[in-house]
Structure 1
């Protein structure tokens, strides 16, 4: 195959799906999407049933199955990283929790030189454009901060299990507020969560954007299409991307192809995007020379600045038989499948992460540095449980740690996963906040509201009490929250990779990046929502459209207050 397209999008995941839909709205634009994984077939319950999310994670049919190098501050153990290898990308296998991050995340982005148009006021219109928010009763949740007619449907968690009621009461007893909407005016506080679910079905980026657009004759989507190299014309003063080389098919049936493009747009995510750039000659010259890859452009920031969220489960046994554990037993699964398949309801129709919140672990931070996901069962992502009875848990971890890592190719072979290291727990601040996080979580879960349920801590357990015991447990037990980002960061400095005004890769023409790798700093929440916002904004930049006007609405600021909160908040109930 040797064809010409206006845009070749590498990766049919979250950002790639949104870009393909927006760029192909003009019938004059020929758009090709190349996805290494398979389609998110409508009949596949492992993708579309919200409660089935443990199944695709760890399966080579859906998951790239990345793994870190031995983490030096985690006892030398390797940390598993699931990333979606299917249309919709990680939005087809993630926990479906939709969180924008705090408005001050984007103020932080905009404080860097050249990033002024990435402040909250400029990002909010794109968040709103993509959303159709529905409240628990089915009514619209649109307001000054939220969208109501976008392609991405969001359902608010119902939080009907009594353990959610105990949790929301307990956080108040511990001195933390409730909030109407963690994605609205005030993120700080606890509330039911928005989820990427529509009528009991996962609503991935592919379902929201890509599939409605696939009927357009100017949009081509190829699955099992593994891009191995970006092609460049280096005869001019600036190297220009002209297309890609890729293989399509499985095993011996795979065939090599070349496709030419007016522009190449990388949407592979924070691991695949820097790997492909490095394989194609864009990156640190010493690394490329080590692997005998001809240098196209020296860009040392490619693969640097890697950030993520680490998390643990704080698990408690329940005296009362109120958790959802019996409903998830093997003998109940045919009933769950029937209810979901024919009625779109029951335990299969929810991700179970229906509520949680954000708080600050100390008074030095300006906005929440801890995120809680509450679950009315004690269970791990892989489905294993520490108890045969009833239980409940919170997922907890610091949200904007100052740790930094890297992604680096280890071979010229594009099918060899890159070397990557996050350096979790490598800084005094990160270790301090981890100790605080565990103490805050325990303080909440031991409030009077849980007295009728609290049958003792299962994990980490009462033997883990001192600061060093807590850190040692985190080293052994923590998992990634699956939010790798920032490896092709926007900016104008020496280590910046992506131009914030055009999304072009610095020092090149015809090559752009649009995925979580362009974040300069990870946001304090799940990263799917900000990835989609970046994609919406990038589409306008690529098409040369007038950007959406900034939304000058207030947002909660603990330090300064706001028109809706004339006095700065006063914290009470600090854990001992």
Structure 2
């Protein structure tokens, strides 16, 4: 049994949600959005602090990496969203776009149309920014972008501590310069998460030409005579696309489905008994991610949000949020941070900070019984490259995710420099009245080998994976600069997997930009209304 649509979008994450909202603006286009995950009705998906529950199981596929051979075989929890809205429904809501030079370097690689001046209009088109409307920001778009509502006094002390090291305060790290410490803007509206699904899908569910299916897992893409024609679902149902199939399943999900469909490295697929439709060695290659390190300090008083983990304080937190949209529930818990340099000669900041207003917030991170803060750092332009491969032909099996962290010695050196910088910030005088003692790494970690041993236990993903369906103009690229799959007609990949290099920040805003730009290209290529 078959049912036809013009466009089938596979994956209701950040980019897929954008495509669903934008393509269905043309009433003549029949648009189907397939999301393998479930509904976002649970309140944790909408409360800012709900992020703390996300890396511990809710809304996630529960996948892990393979043992990391350059990190003493450490296995990382690799959170991948299992809900409409994708990463935008479970992340810390931090709105950063990367550095302008990231995109200019894409253009220099041959990706015409993807320089900073080219992509900036799409960032602005998406935004409904409560604070700015200028050359860098827009108002009136679908995506709510707001200021934090629940900072604590220790955040200002953090800014003063950074200033003591010559790191300036930056009111808008998405404008002229990225350098400095800041309050991040957040993807929120009215102190509620503004996920891509809430921005682009929910308001448009009433459109008769938009169909949204949840819990809809695709088994494989259908390809006939070099042309994508539709999808086969897990139950065998076939859904046909008269115009295009749009793959938006992310830097893990997209290469995974392509390989399950016979598109990928021929030797790998043949070993698994999968019929090879197209030999494309770079599908699932070029995986890049930011490795997150952290310094944890115990506090001398109730200066963070840790105490609200206790039941009676949690009840008070809920009341504060209901009555005034304040308190810990109104916080993403990581809305303070900034960008600075591990390498003083770097072309732009190469370290990003996230100040956690508590401890044990994310999976695997230690908690301080008496309360503390966590200062994360990640090296932004890693040279290490990993892979996404299949365990077997069974779609129910988790993929083999190998970020290959710290394979390049420079990544190791710069990551350790970033960790040392977080320690230096936390040791400055403005924070002295708040901090009782540094607990991790602690005073016993002194040599670079000791730091390396430490991070092989205490580190995590930054959740910024990219690059596994690389865009380019060379023969090895998976998609061209209009995101069309090289070698298969009527198939595009639209998500962070197309990034040639990972951007120098959180990646969710860029995924939404990619969706906006792709929607315009798809409309143009199909003669649709803009």
Q: State the TM bucket, normalised to the shorter chain.
A: over 0.9
1:10-409 aligned at under 5 Å gives the runs: 10-41=10-41, 44-59=42-57, 62-113=59-110, 115-134=111-130, 140-158=131-149, 160-234=151-225, 239-247=226-234, 255-261=235-241, 262-341=243-322, 343-382=324-363, 385-409=366-390
1:509 to 489, 496, 514: 489
CA offset digits 1:305-333 (Å, max 9, x no partner): 00001112211122243222223322222
* Residues 163 and 383 (structure 1), Cα distance of their counterparts in 2 relative to 1, 3 Å cut: farther
- TM alignment of 1:467-478, pairs within 5 A: 467-478=448-459
Alpha-carbon displacement from aligned partner over 1:414-462 (angstroms, at most 9, x marks no partner): 1111112111111111111022112211111111211222321111111
Give the unaligned 5+ runs of structure 2. Answer: none
Question: 2:509 and 2:357 mapped to 1: Cα distance?
Answer: 24
| CA distance in 1: counterparts of 2:364 and 2:44, whole angstroms | 14
For the residues of structure 1 that align with 2:117 and 2:280, how far apart are their CA atoms? 30
Shift of 1:159: 6.1
Q: Is the 8 A contact 1:320 1:452 kept in 2?
A: no
Q: Distance in 2 between matches of 1:258 and 1:222?
A: 14
1:396–1:441 Cα contact (<8 Å) kept = yes
2:436 is the alignment partner of 1:436: no
**Secondary structure, counterpart of 2:52 in structure 1:** coil
| Residues 160 and 479 of structure 1, relative CA distance in 2, 3 Å threshold | closer
1:124 CA displacement: 0.4
Number of matched pairs: 525
| Secondary structure of 2:168's aligned partner | coil
**Normalising to structure 1: TM-score of the pair?**
0.88
Contact 2:150 2:331 (C-alpha < 8 Å) held by counterparts: no
Query: Cα deviations across residues 204-262 of structure 1 (Å, max 9, x unaligned)?
Result: 1000001111110000000110001000112xxxx000000013xxxxxxx43110002
Instruction: Kindly state the Cα deviation for residue 55 of structure 1 after the two structures are TM-superposed.
Output: 2.0
Deviation at 1:346, TM superposition (A): 2.7
> What's the TM-score, normalizing by structure 2?
0.96
SS of corresponding position for 1:106: helix
Q: Secondary structure at the match of 1:70?
A: coil
Offset at residue 383 of structure 1 (A): 8.7
Question: Cα–Cα, structure 1 residues 304 and 425, in superposed 2: closer, same or farther, change >3 Å?
Answer: same
Unaligned runs of 5+ in 1: 135-139, 248-254, 547-576
Contact 1:312 1:479 in 2 (8 A): yes
Tell me the CA shift for residue 341 of structure 1: 4.4
Provide the alpha-carbon RMSD of the alignment: 1.6
Structure 1 residue matching 2:75: 3-state secondary structure: coil
Secondary structure of the 2:339 match is strand
Structure 2 residue corresponding to 1:528, chosen from 503, 508, 529: 508
Q: Secondary structure at the match of 2:54?
A: coil
- Which residue pairs with 2:463 in the alignment? 482
Counterparts of 1:375 and 1:367 in 2: how far apart (Å)? 24
Q: CA–CA distance in 1 between the matches of 2:364 and 2:419? A: 23
Q: How far 1:342 sits from its partner (Å)?
A: 5.7
| Regions of 4+ moved over 4 Å | none
Q: Distance in 2 between matches of 1:128 and 1:427?
A: 36
Deviation at 1:155, TM superposition (A): 1.1
Task: After TM superposition, give the deviation of residue 384 of structure 1 in Å.
Answer: 6.5
After superposition, give the CA deviation of every residue in 1:392-418 in whole Å (9 maximum; x if it has no partner).
Answer: 221111011101000111211111111
Asked if the contact 2:333–2:358 (Cα under 8 Å) also holds between the matched residues in 1, the reply is: no
Offset of residue 56 of structure 1 = 3.4
- Answer whether contact 2:293 2:415 (CA < 8 A) is retained: no
